[in-house]
């Protein structure tokens, strides 16, 4: 039987990739809830629908800012979904440092307003809250955080996501809602905002410009991440809609750890131009930014999911697409 899905933040970077994946592998009806601000753009949805014109009738876009409750008029537009995928969030560390209350409103209050609406639904089968590795704070070398590790937020953005996680668990415990949570590491893919690291590196390599590489205080070691592609994230979400346990948490982790210099070198190799870079001590002088994040992905692997392709292959795909679509590089 066909499902109805409510996808919040569906015009955002990760959200629109999940939208595209749902259109490609299901026959479900999808309602996208978005406020179309700095991170969400209708252009992403338009490009997805252009690639899937026969599926356009399956997608509805509802404008709403979740800082306000989901009133009866908005609820009527949203219908009676079986699945809610909650990706809408403020997610910019620098902005959270300069304006923490904005992130409390977007991520904590916004999540509570959505949960309040969701608990009225008799149809609800799954509610996914999409969280971040940053709730655990920096990871010392050799440490990979498990799903239920303690929070140690390094900035207001991370703290607001941790607060929203706790609200989800509270609603699951109090109202017996079918909620589960994911932690995702740095996500890369096509149509990412050009300020983000991967499109920024592609652009600067093309233009022959120097790229700052965030490093330790001695400028001998670049920051490290387990980068994961949007394609793998979308496939993991579909996997978890079938296999996740209510009230549990799941880490979505890339195929292997890369430092930012290795990532930039791989991108430059794909572009076919030299890499000009400078290691800079950013993390010790800038509050709220951590040199290394790391999650343990063993739980998902034991369940039967892992990234479908190596990170080098994913980067080559992103570079090839971006060179053919320079608009998304800001060129």
Q: Strand 258-259 vs strand 224-225: parallel, antiparallel, or unpaired? A: antiparallel
Q: Which of 157, 227, 250, 293 is catalytic?
A: 157
Active site annotation includes 106: no
Q: Which of 34, 133, 147, 255 is catalytic?
A: 133
Active site annotation includes 134: yes
Q: Which of 106, 134, 165, 255 is catalytic?
A: 134
Residues with active-site annotation: 133-134, 157
């Amino acid at each position: 039987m066909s499902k109805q899905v409510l996808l919040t933040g569906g015009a955002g970077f990760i959200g629109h990739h999940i939208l595209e994946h749902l259109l490609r592998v299901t026959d479900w009806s999808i309602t996208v809830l978005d406020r179309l601000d700095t991170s969400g753009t209708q252009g992403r949805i338009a490009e997805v629908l252009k690639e899937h014109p026969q599926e356009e009738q399956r997608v509805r876009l509802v404008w709403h800012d979740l800082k306000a409750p989901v009133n009866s008029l908005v609820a009527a537009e949203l219908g009676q979904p079986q699945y809610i995928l909650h990706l809408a969030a403020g997610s910019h560390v620098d902005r959270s440092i300069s304006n923490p209350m904005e992130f409390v409103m977007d991520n904590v209050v916004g999540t509570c307003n959505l949960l309040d609406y969701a608990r009225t639904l008799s149809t609800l089968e799954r509610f996914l809250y999409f969280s971040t590795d940053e709730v655990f704070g920096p990871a010392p070398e050799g440490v990979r955080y498990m799903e239920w590790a303690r929070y140690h937020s390094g900035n207001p953005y991370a703290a607001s996501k941790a607060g929203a996680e706790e609200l989800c668990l509270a609603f699951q415990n109090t109202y017996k809602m079918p909620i589960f949570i994911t932690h995702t590491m740095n996500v890369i893919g096509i149509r990412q905002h050009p300020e983000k690291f991967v499109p920024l590196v592609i652009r600067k390599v093309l233009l022959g410009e120097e790229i700052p590489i965030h490093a330790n205080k001695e400028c001998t070691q670049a920051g490290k991440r387990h980068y994961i592609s949007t394609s793998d994230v979308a496939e993991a979400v579909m996997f978890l809609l079938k296999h996740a346990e209510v009230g549990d948490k799941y880490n979505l982790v890339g195929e292997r750890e890369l430092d930012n210099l290795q990532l930039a070198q791989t991108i430059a190799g794909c572009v076919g131009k030299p890499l000009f870079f400078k290691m800079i001590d950013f993390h010790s002088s800038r509050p709220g930014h951590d040199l290394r994040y790391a999650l343990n992905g063993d739980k998902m692997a034991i369940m039967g999911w892992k990234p479908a392709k190596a990170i080098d292959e994913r980067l080559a795909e992103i570079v090839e697409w971006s060179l053919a679509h320079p608009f998304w590089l800001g060129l």
